[in-house]
Amino acid sequence: MGRFTFRLPDIGEGIAEAEIVAWHVKVGDKVEEDGRLADMMTDKATVEMESPVSGVIVEVAGETGDVIAIGSPLVVIEVEGAGNAVDRAPAPKAEVVEQRIAAETPDAEDVERVEQAVTPSSEPKPAPAPAPEPTPPPAATGAKAPQPRAATHSKVMASPAVRKRAADLGIDLSEVRPAEEGRLRHSDLDAFLSYNASGGFQPAGRKGQDEQVRVIGLRRRIAENMAASKRQIPHFAYVEEFDVTALEETRAQLNAGRGADMDGRPKLTMLPFLITAICKLLPKYPMLNAHYDDEAGVVTRYGSVHLGMAAQTPAGLMVPVIRNAQDRNLWQLATEIGRLAQAARDGSAKSSELSGSTITVTSLGPMGGVATTPVINRPEVAIIGPNRIVERPMFVKGADGVERIEKRKIMNISMSCDHRVVDGWDAASFAQDLKKLIEAPALILAG
Protein backbone atom coordinates (compact mmCIF):
# COMPACT_ATOMS: atom_id res chain seq x y z
CA MET A 1 0.00 0.00 0.00
CA GLY A 2 1.19 3.51 -0.77
CA ARG A 3 -0.04 7.04 -0.40
CA PHE A 4 -1.06 9.46 -3.14
CA THR A 5 -1.01 13.18 -2.35
CA PHE A 6 -3.50 15.15 -4.46
CA ARG A 7 -2.43 18.79 -4.66
CA LEU A 8 -4.73 21.66 -5.53
CA PRO A 9 -4.19 22.20 -9.27
CA ASP A 10 -3.98 25.49 -11.14
CA ILE A 11 -7.69 26.19 -11.72
CA GLY A 12 -7.53 29.55 -13.43
CA GLU A 13 -5.24 32.20 -14.76
CA GLY A 14 -3.95 34.45 -12.01
CA ILE A 15 -5.50 32.31 -9.24
CA ALA A 16 -3.11 31.85 -6.29
CA GLU A 17 -5.44 30.31 -3.72
CA ALA A 18 -8.91 28.86 -3.29
CA GLU A 19 -11.37 28.44 -0.44
CA ILE A 20 -12.85 25.10 0.62
CA VAL A 21 -16.63 25.60 0.48
CA ALA A 22 -17.72 21.94 0.71
CA TRP A 23 -16.22 18.52 1.37
CA HIS A 24 -17.68 15.45 -0.32
CA VAL A 25 -15.38 13.04 1.52
CA LYS A 26 -13.94 12.58 5.00
CA VAL A 27 -11.12 10.58 6.52
CA GLY A 28 -11.83 6.86 6.15
CA ASP A 29 -14.10 7.22 3.10
CA LYS A 30 -13.41 5.16 0.03
CA VAL A 31 -13.23 7.20 -3.15
CA GLU A 32 -13.30 6.00 -6.73
CA GLU A 33 -11.33 7.46 -9.60
CA ASP A 34 -13.06 10.64 -10.85
CA GLY A 35 -15.09 10.71 -7.63
CA ARG A 36 -15.93 14.07 -6.05
CA LEU A 37 -13.56 15.34 -3.38
CA ALA A 38 -14.39 18.97 -2.61
CA ASP A 39 -15.81 22.23 -3.99
CA MET A 40 -13.24 25.04 -4.19
CA MET A 41 -14.19 28.70 -4.65
CA THR A 42 -11.95 31.26 -6.29
CA ASP A 43 -12.57 34.92 -7.05
CA LYS A 44 -14.27 33.89 -10.27
CA ALA A 45 -16.12 30.62 -9.82
CA THR A 46 -16.69 27.46 -7.79
CA VAL A 47 -14.80 24.42 -9.12
CA GLU A 48 -15.41 20.77 -8.22
CA MET A 49 -12.27 18.73 -7.48
CA GLU A 50 -12.25 15.07 -8.61
CA SER A 51 -9.96 12.28 -7.48
CA PRO A 52 -7.43 11.06 -10.05
CA VAL A 53 -7.08 7.68 -8.28
CA SER A 54 -9.11 5.18 -6.28
CA GLY A 55 -8.37 4.56 -2.64
CA VAL A 56 -9.15 5.48 0.96
CA ILE A 57 -8.98 9.04 2.29
CA VAL A 58 -6.40 9.25 5.09
CA GLU A 59 -5.91 13.05 5.33
CA VAL A 60 -7.77 16.20 4.31
CA ALA A 61 -6.33 19.70 4.09
CA GLY A 62 -8.71 21.53 6.40
CA GLU A 63 -12.29 22.46 7.15
CA THR A 64 -14.84 24.35 5.09
CA GLY A 65 -13.91 28.00 5.02
CA ASP A 66 -10.16 27.38 5.02
CA VAL A 67 -8.11 28.91 2.21
CA ILE A 68 -5.26 26.90 0.70
CA ALA A 69 -2.67 27.84 -1.91
CA ILE A 70 -2.44 26.41 -5.40
CA GLY A 71 -0.09 23.42 -5.31
CA SER A 72 -0.73 22.65 -1.64
CA PRO A 73 -1.93 19.16 -0.62
CA LEU A 74 -5.71 18.87 -0.67
CA VAL A 75 -6.14 15.20 0.29
CA VAL A 76 -3.91 12.18 0.89
CA ILE A 77 -5.28 8.89 -0.45
CA GLU A 78 -4.10 5.40 0.45
CA VAL A 79 -3.79 3.49 -2.79
CA GLU A 80 -2.68 0.13 -4.13
CA GLY A 81 0.97 0.33 -5.12
CA ALA A 82 3.68 2.81 -4.29
CA GLY A 83 1.72 6.05 -4.52
CA ASN A 84 3.48 9.39 -4.82
CA ALA A 85 3.73 10.62 -1.21
CA VAL A 86 7.16 11.22 0.31
CA ASP A 87 7.83 9.26 3.49
CA ARG A 88 7.48 11.30 6.60
CA ALA A 89 10.12 11.67 9.30
CA PRO A 90 9.88 8.92 11.92
CA ALA A 91 8.12 9.69 15.15
CA PRO A 92 10.29 10.41 18.21
CA LYS A 93 11.48 7.27 19.99
CA ALA A 94 9.80 6.26 23.20
CA GLU A 95 12.92 6.81 25.29
CA VAL A 96 13.25 10.40 24.04
CA VAL A 97 9.68 11.10 25.03
CA GLU A 98 10.29 9.52 28.46
CA GLN A 99 13.38 11.71 29.00
CA ARG A 100 11.34 14.84 28.20
CA ILE A 101 8.60 13.76 30.62
CA ALA A 102 11.17 13.10 33.33
CA ALA A 103 12.86 16.45 32.76
CA GLU A 104 9.56 18.36 32.92
CA THR A 105 8.12 16.52 35.95
CA PRO A 106 8.95 18.09 39.39
CA ASP A 107 10.50 15.76 41.99
CA ALA A 108 9.23 15.20 45.52
CA GLU A 109 11.52 17.83 47.07
CA ASP A 110 10.23 20.52 44.72
CA VAL A 111 6.66 19.62 45.60
CA GLU A 112 7.44 19.70 49.34
CA ARG A 113 9.06 23.17 49.07
CA VAL A 114 6.06 24.51 47.22
CA GLU A 115 3.66 23.09 49.80
CA GLN A 116 5.62 24.69 52.65
CA ALA A 117 5.61 28.03 50.87
CA VAL A 118 1.84 28.08 50.36
CA THR A 119 0.78 26.44 53.69
CA PRO A 120 -0.32 29.12 56.23
CA SER A 121 1.33 29.24 59.68
CA SER A 122 -0.30 27.24 62.41
CA GLU A 123 -2.36 29.98 64.02
CA PRO A 124 -5.47 29.22 66.00
CA LYS A 125 -8.47 29.29 63.76
CA PRO A 126 -11.16 31.78 64.74
CA ALA A 127 -14.10 30.29 66.53
CA PRO A 128 -17.20 30.04 64.41
CA ALA A 129 -19.72 32.81 64.89
CA PRO A 130 -22.64 31.86 67.10
CA ALA A 131 -25.78 30.92 65.30
CA PRO A 132 -28.29 33.78 65.19
CA GLU A 133 -31.19 33.49 67.56
CA PRO A 134 -34.53 32.93 65.91
CA THR A 135 -36.45 36.15 65.39
CA PRO A 136 -39.58 36.22 67.53
CA PRO A 137 -42.89 36.63 65.70
CA PRO A 138 -44.19 40.20 65.52
CA ALA A 139 -46.19 41.39 68.43
CA ALA A 140 -49.90 41.79 68.07
CA THR A 141 -49.55 45.56 68.43
CA GLY A 142 -46.51 45.83 66.08
CA ALA A 143 -46.27 45.89 62.31
CA LYS A 144 -48.60 43.63 60.43
CA ALA A 145 -47.19 40.45 58.93
CA PRO A 146 -47.31 40.31 55.11
CA GLN A 147 -50.67 39.04 53.95
CA PRO A 148 -50.72 35.98 51.68
CA ARG A 149 -51.91 36.46 48.11
CA ALA A 150 -55.50 35.71 47.44
CA ALA A 151 -55.72 32.11 46.39
CA THR A 152 -59.15 32.11 44.82
CA HIS A 153 -61.17 34.44 42.71
CA SER A 154 -63.93 34.72 45.30
CA LYS A 155 -61.64 36.22 47.97
CA VAL A 156 -60.38 39.09 45.76
CA MET A 157 -61.97 42.43 46.58
CA ALA A 158 -62.98 44.22 43.35
CA SER A 159 -65.96 46.18 42.06
CA PRO A 160 -68.44 44.50 39.68
CA ALA A 161 -67.08 46.64 36.79
CA VAL A 162 -63.51 45.46 37.42
CA ARG A 163 -64.68 41.85 37.70
CA LYS A 164 -66.62 42.10 34.42
CA ARG A 165 -63.65 43.64 32.60
CA ALA A 166 -61.34 40.92 33.94
CA ALA A 167 -63.78 38.23 32.85
CA ASP A 168 -64.06 39.73 29.35
CA LEU A 169 -60.28 39.74 29.03
CA GLY A 170 -59.88 36.23 30.44
CA ILE A 171 -57.84 37.40 33.43
CA ASP A 172 -57.90 35.50 36.72
CA LEU A 173 -58.07 38.22 39.42
CA SER A 174 -56.10 36.04 41.81
CA GLU A 175 -53.06 36.60 39.57
CA VAL A 176 -53.32 40.39 39.79
CA ARG A 177 -51.53 42.11 42.68
CA PRO A 178 -53.12 45.39 43.77
CA ALA A 179 -50.96 48.51 43.95
CA GLU A 180 -52.47 49.27 47.35
CA GLU A 181 -53.69 46.85 49.94
CA GLY A 182 -57.33 46.17 49.62
CA ARG A 183 -59.51 46.45 46.54
CA LEU A 184 -58.36 45.81 42.97
CA ARG A 185 -58.89 48.73 40.61
CA HIS A 186 -58.85 49.28 36.84
CA SER A 187 -55.30 50.65 37.08
CA ASP A 188 -54.17 47.29 38.47
CA LEU A 189 -55.64 45.54 35.41
CA ASP A 190 -53.86 48.04 33.15
CA ALA A 191 -50.56 47.33 34.86
CA PHE A 192 -51.14 43.59 34.53
CA LEU A 193 -51.88 43.92 30.81
CA SER A 194 -48.75 46.02 30.29
CA TYR A 195 -46.23 43.89 32.14
CA ASN A 196 -47.66 40.41 32.60
CA ALA A 197 -47.64 37.82 29.88
CA SER A 198 -49.66 35.13 31.66
CA GLY A 199 -53.37 34.49 31.44
CA GLY A 200 -53.42 34.38 27.62
CA PHE A 201 -51.47 37.60 27.01
CA GLN A 202 -48.53 36.54 24.87
CA PRO A 203 -45.25 38.50 24.58
CA ALA A 204 -44.29 40.29 21.39
CA GLY A 205 -42.03 37.44 20.32
CA ARG A 206 -40.29 34.28 21.40
CA LYS A 207 -36.72 34.05 22.57
CA GLY A 208 -34.51 32.21 20.14
CA GLN A 209 -31.20 30.46 20.50
CA ASP A 210 -27.93 32.29 19.92
CA GLU A 211 -26.12 30.95 16.88
CA GLN A 212 -22.69 31.42 15.38
CA VAL A 213 -22.52 31.08 11.59
CA ARG A 214 -19.16 30.88 9.82
CA VAL A 215 -18.82 33.37 6.99
CA ILE A 216 -17.51 31.19 4.18
CA GLY A 217 -17.83 30.71 0.45
CA LEU A 218 -19.83 33.28 -1.50
CA ARG A 219 -20.89 35.10 1.68
CA ARG A 220 -17.22 35.67 2.55
CA ARG A 221 -16.52 36.98 -0.97
CA ILE A 222 -19.46 39.38 -0.69
CA ALA A 223 -18.26 40.59 2.72
CA GLU A 224 -14.71 41.15 1.48
CA ASN A 225 -15.80 42.95 -1.70
CA MET A 226 -18.32 45.18 0.07
CA ALA A 227 -15.83 46.11 2.80
CA ALA A 228 -13.11 46.90 0.26
CA SER A 229 -15.50 49.01 -1.80
CA LYS A 230 -16.69 51.11 1.15
CA ARG A 231 -13.18 51.38 2.58
CA GLN A 232 -11.40 52.45 -0.61
CA ILE A 233 -14.04 54.24 -2.70
CA PRO A 234 -15.35 57.69 -1.70
CA HIS A 235 -18.99 57.15 -2.63
CA PHE A 236 -21.45 59.90 -3.38
CA ALA A 237 -25.13 59.38 -4.14
CA TYR A 238 -27.52 61.17 -6.48
CA VAL A 239 -31.29 60.52 -6.58
CA GLU A 240 -33.71 61.87 -9.19
CA GLU A 241 -37.46 61.52 -9.62
CA PHE A 242 -38.76 60.07 -12.91
CA ASP A 243 -42.31 60.15 -14.29
CA VAL A 244 -42.68 56.68 -15.82
CA THR A 245 -46.39 56.92 -16.70
CA ALA A 246 -45.78 57.01 -20.46
CA LEU A 247 -43.12 54.30 -20.29
CA GLU A 248 -45.43 51.99 -18.34
CA GLU A 249 -48.17 52.53 -20.93
CA THR A 250 -45.70 51.71 -23.74
CA ARG A 251 -44.49 48.62 -21.89
CA ALA A 252 -48.08 47.40 -21.41
CA GLN A 253 -48.83 47.90 -25.12
CA LEU A 254 -45.74 45.96 -26.19
CA ASN A 255 -46.54 43.11 -23.82
CA ALA A 256 -50.16 43.00 -24.98
CA GLY A 257 -48.96 42.85 -28.60
CA ARG A 258 -47.10 39.60 -28.08
CA GLY A 259 -49.07 37.24 -30.29
CA ALA A 260 -48.57 34.28 -32.57
CA ASP A 261 -45.83 36.12 -34.41
CA MET A 262 -44.01 36.87 -31.15
CA ASP A 263 -44.01 33.42 -29.59
CA GLY A 264 -41.13 32.90 -27.23
CA ARG A 265 -40.66 36.56 -26.46
CA PRO A 266 -40.48 37.21 -22.71
CA LYS A 267 -42.61 39.71 -20.86
CA LEU A 268 -40.95 43.10 -20.77
CA THR A 269 -40.12 44.63 -17.40
CA MET A 270 -38.73 48.06 -16.60
CA LEU A 271 -35.10 46.86 -16.78
CA PRO A 272 -34.72 46.44 -20.58
CA PHE A 273 -35.93 50.01 -21.11
CA LEU A 274 -33.58 51.35 -18.44
CA ILE A 275 -30.60 49.41 -19.80
CA THR A 276 -31.30 50.60 -23.36
CA ALA A 277 -31.44 54.21 -22.17
CA ILE A 278 -28.18 53.79 -20.22
CA CYS A 279 -26.41 52.30 -23.25
CA LYS A 280 -27.56 55.25 -25.42
CA LEU A 281 -26.07 57.75 -22.95
CA LEU A 282 -22.75 56.15 -21.96
CA PRO A 283 -20.86 57.25 -25.12
CA LYS A 284 -21.59 60.81 -23.97
CA TYR A 285 -20.51 59.99 -20.38
CA PRO A 286 -17.55 57.59 -20.79
CA MET A 287 -16.31 58.33 -17.26
CA LEU A 288 -19.22 56.23 -15.91
CA ASN A 289 -18.49 53.12 -17.99
CA ALA A 290 -15.03 52.59 -16.55
CA HIS A 291 -12.72 50.80 -14.12
CA TYR A 292 -10.34 52.57 -11.75
CA ASP A 293 -7.09 50.84 -10.78
CA ASP A 294 -6.21 52.81 -7.64
CA GLU A 295 -2.83 51.09 -7.23
CA ALA A 296 -1.68 51.96 -10.74
CA GLY A 297 -3.57 55.26 -10.83
CA VAL A 298 -5.18 54.39 -14.18
CA VAL A 299 -8.79 54.80 -15.34
CA THR A 300 -9.86 52.48 -18.16
CA ARG A 301 -12.86 53.74 -20.13
CA TYR A 302 -14.65 51.02 -22.08
CA GLY A 303 -16.22 51.34 -25.52
CA SER A 304 -18.54 48.35 -24.98
CA VAL A 305 -21.12 48.13 -22.22
CA HIS A 306 -20.77 44.91 -20.24
CA LEU A 307 -23.60 45.54 -17.84
CA GLY A 308 -23.60 43.82 -14.45
CA MET A 309 -27.02 42.89 -13.11
CA ALA A 310 -27.14 42.39 -9.35
CA ALA A 311 -29.24 39.29 -8.62
CA GLN A 312 -30.29 37.81 -5.30
CA THR A 313 -29.74 34.04 -5.08
CA PRO A 314 -30.14 31.47 -2.29
CA ALA A 315 -26.35 31.61 -1.81
CA GLY A 316 -26.22 35.42 -1.69
CA LEU A 317 -25.77 38.38 -4.01
CA MET A 318 -24.29 37.62 -7.44
CA VAL A 319 -23.65 39.90 -10.44
CA PRO A 320 -24.10 38.12 -13.80
CA VAL A 321 -22.98 40.17 -16.80
CA ILE A 322 -24.86 41.06 -20.00
CA ARG A 323 -22.09 41.15 -22.59
CA ASN A 324 -22.24 43.94 -25.19
CA ALA A 325 -25.56 45.20 -23.93
CA GLN A 326 -25.40 48.09 -26.42
CA ASP A 327 -25.90 45.63 -29.33
CA ARG A 328 -29.17 44.11 -28.00
CA ASN A 329 -32.76 45.28 -28.48
CA LEU A 330 -35.47 45.28 -25.80
CA TRP A 331 -36.56 41.70 -26.39
CA GLN A 332 -33.00 40.36 -26.51
CA LEU A 333 -32.18 42.17 -23.27
CA ALA A 334 -35.28 40.74 -21.59
CA THR A 335 -34.33 37.23 -22.72
CA GLU A 336 -30.74 37.58 -21.50
CA ILE A 337 -31.84 39.05 -18.17
CA GLY A 338 -34.10 36.05 -17.54
CA ARG A 339 -31.47 33.53 -18.61
CA LEU A 340 -28.69 35.01 -16.47
CA ALA A 341 -30.92 35.45 -13.43
CA GLN A 342 -31.99 31.79 -13.59
CA ALA A 343 -28.40 30.61 -14.09
CA ALA A 344 -27.28 32.62 -11.06
CA ARG A 345 -30.07 31.18 -8.91
CA ASP A 346 -29.53 27.53 -9.84
CA GLY A 347 -25.72 27.76 -9.80
CA SER A 348 -25.20 27.00 -13.49
CA ALA A 349 -23.70 30.40 -14.36
CA LYS A 350 -20.23 30.16 -15.92
CA SER A 351 -17.22 32.02 -14.58
CA SER A 352 -17.16 34.25 -17.67
CA GLU A 353 -20.78 35.22 -16.98
CA LEU A 354 -19.98 36.42 -13.46
CA SER A 355 -17.05 38.75 -14.11
CA GLY A 356 -15.94 41.59 -16.34
CA SER A 357 -18.80 44.06 -15.89
CA THR A 358 -18.08 47.74 -16.61
CA ILE A 359 -21.16 49.28 -14.92
CA THR A 360 -23.88 47.70 -12.77
CA VAL A 361 -27.64 48.04 -12.37
CA THR A 362 -29.22 46.87 -9.11
CA SER A 363 -32.96 46.58 -8.62
CA LEU A 364 -35.18 45.15 -5.89
CA GLY A 365 -38.24 45.33 -8.14
CA PRO A 366 -41.53 45.90 -6.27
CA MET A 367 -39.64 45.66 -2.96
CA GLY A 368 -37.46 48.65 -3.82
CA GLY A 369 -37.70 51.54 -1.39
CA VAL A 370 -38.20 55.25 -1.98
CA ALA A 371 -34.44 55.67 -2.49
CA THR A 372 -31.29 53.59 -2.10
CA THR A 373 -27.56 54.22 -1.84
CA PRO A 374 -26.09 51.13 -3.56
CA VAL A 375 -22.49 50.06 -3.02
CA ILE A 376 -20.24 50.30 -6.08
CA ASN A 377 -19.10 47.00 -7.59
CA ARG A 378 -15.34 47.59 -7.41
CA PRO A 379 -13.35 48.31 -9.62
CA GLU A 380 -16.29 49.92 -11.41
CA VAL A 381 -16.99 53.59 -10.73
CA ALA A 382 -20.81 53.77 -10.94
CA ILE A 383 -23.91 51.78 -10.05
CA ILE A 384 -27.52 52.65 -10.89
CA GLY A 385 -30.56 51.52 -8.90
CA PRO A 386 -34.21 51.98 -9.91
CA ASN A 387 -36.63 52.05 -6.98
CA ARG A 388 -40.29 51.23 -6.43
CA ILE A 389 -42.98 52.80 -8.67
CA VAL A 390 -45.66 54.70 -6.75
CA GLU A 391 -48.77 56.57 -7.87
CA ARG A 392 -48.95 60.22 -6.90
CA PRO A 393 -51.04 63.28 -7.83
CA MET A 394 -48.98 65.65 -9.96
CA PHE A 395 -49.45 68.94 -11.78
CA VAL A 396 -49.36 68.18 -15.52
CA LYS A 397 -49.51 70.83 -18.23
CA GLY A 398 -51.91 69.93 -21.04
CA ALA A 399 -51.72 70.75 -24.76
CA ASP A 400 -53.62 73.96 -24.05
CA GLY A 401 -50.96 75.07 -21.60
CA VAL A 402 -53.25 74.69 -18.59
CA GLU A 403 -51.99 72.71 -15.63
CA ARG A 404 -54.17 69.95 -14.27
CA ILE A 405 -53.81 67.49 -11.40
CA GLU A 406 -53.41 63.93 -12.67
CA LYS A 407 -52.50 60.58 -11.16
CA ARG A 408 -48.98 59.77 -12.37
CA LYS A 409 -46.59 56.85 -11.85
CA ILE A 410 -43.38 58.08 -10.21
CA MET A 411 -40.10 56.21 -9.69
CA ASN A 412 -36.87 57.43 -8.13
CA ILE A 413 -33.58 56.32 -9.65
CA SER A 414 -30.52 56.27 -7.38
CA MET A 415 -26.88 56.48 -8.43
CA SER A 416 -23.68 55.90 -6.50
CA CYS A 417 -20.42 57.12 -8.04
CA ASP A 418 -16.72 57.05 -7.25
CA HIS A 419 -15.85 60.67 -6.50
CA ARG A 420 -12.21 60.07 -7.45
CA VAL A 421 -13.28 59.55 -11.06
CA VAL A 422 -16.79 60.99 -11.46
CA ASP A 423 -17.65 64.60 -10.63
CA GLY A 424 -21.01 65.54 -9.18
CA TRP A 425 -21.80 67.64 -12.26
CA ASP A 426 -21.24 64.65 -14.55
CA ALA A 427 -23.50 62.40 -12.47
CA ALA A 428 -26.26 65.02 -12.32
CA SER A 429 -26.03 65.67 -16.07
CA PHE A 430 -26.24 61.96 -16.81
CA ALA A 431 -29.28 61.59 -14.53
CA GLN A 432 -31.08 64.50 -16.21
CA ASP A 433 -30.43 63.10 -19.69
CA LEU A 434 -31.60 59.68 -18.47
CA LYS A 435 -34.76 61.33 -17.15
CA LYS A 436 -35.52 62.80 -20.60
CA LEU A 437 -35.26 59.35 -22.23
CA ILE A 438 -37.28 57.51 -19.60
CA GLU A 439 -40.09 60.09 -19.63
CA ALA A 440 -40.25 60.01 -23.46
CA PRO A 441 -40.06 56.29 -24.30
CA ALA A 442 -40.29 56.98 -28.04
CA LEU A 443 -36.72 58.26 -27.80
CA ILE A 444 -35.64 54.94 -26.32
CA LEU A 445 -37.28 52.96 -29.11
CA ALA A 446 -35.86 55.22 -31.84
CA GLY A 447 -32.70 53.96 -33.47
Which residue, among 76, 77, 8, 84, has the nearest Cα to 47 in the 3D structure?
8
Which residues lie closer than 8 Å to 181 by C-beta, 6 or more apart? 147
The helix or strand, by DSSP H or E, that contains position 50, with its residue range, turns out to be strand 46-50
- Report the distance separating Cα 168 and Cα 193, nearest Å: 13
Partnered with residue 41 across adjacent β-strands are 19, 46
Q: 341 with 309: CB under 8 angstroms?
A: yes
Residue pair 292/421 in contact by the 8 Å Cβ criterion: yes
What is the Cα–Cα distance from 49 to 31, expressed in whole angstroms?
12
> How far is residue 30's CA from residue 343's CA, in Å, rounded to a whole number?
33
The H or E element that residue 227 is part of is helix 217-232
* CA separation for the pair 375, 367 (Å, rounded): 18
Give strand pairing partners of 237. 416
Please indicate whether residue 419 is annotated as part of the active site: yes
Could you tell me which residues come within 8 angstroms of residue 65 by beta carbon, excluding any fewer than 6 positions away?
Answer: 19, 20, 21, 214, 215, 216, 217, 220
Q: 29, 419, 426, 433: which is the annotated catalytic residue?
A: 419
What CA–CA distance (Å, rounded) separates 440 from 437? 5
What span, in angstroms and rounded, lies between the C-alpha atoms of 322 and 307?
Answer: 5
Catalytic, out of 110, 190, 327, 423: 423
**423 belongs to the catalytic site:** yes
Cα distance between residue 444 and residue 279, in whole Å: 10
Contact present, 366 and 388 (Cβ < 8 Å) = yes
Of 190, 213, 252, nearest to 409 by C-alpha is: 252
Residues ≥6 apart with Cβ < 8 Å to 186:
161, 162, 165
Residues belonging to the active site: 419, 423
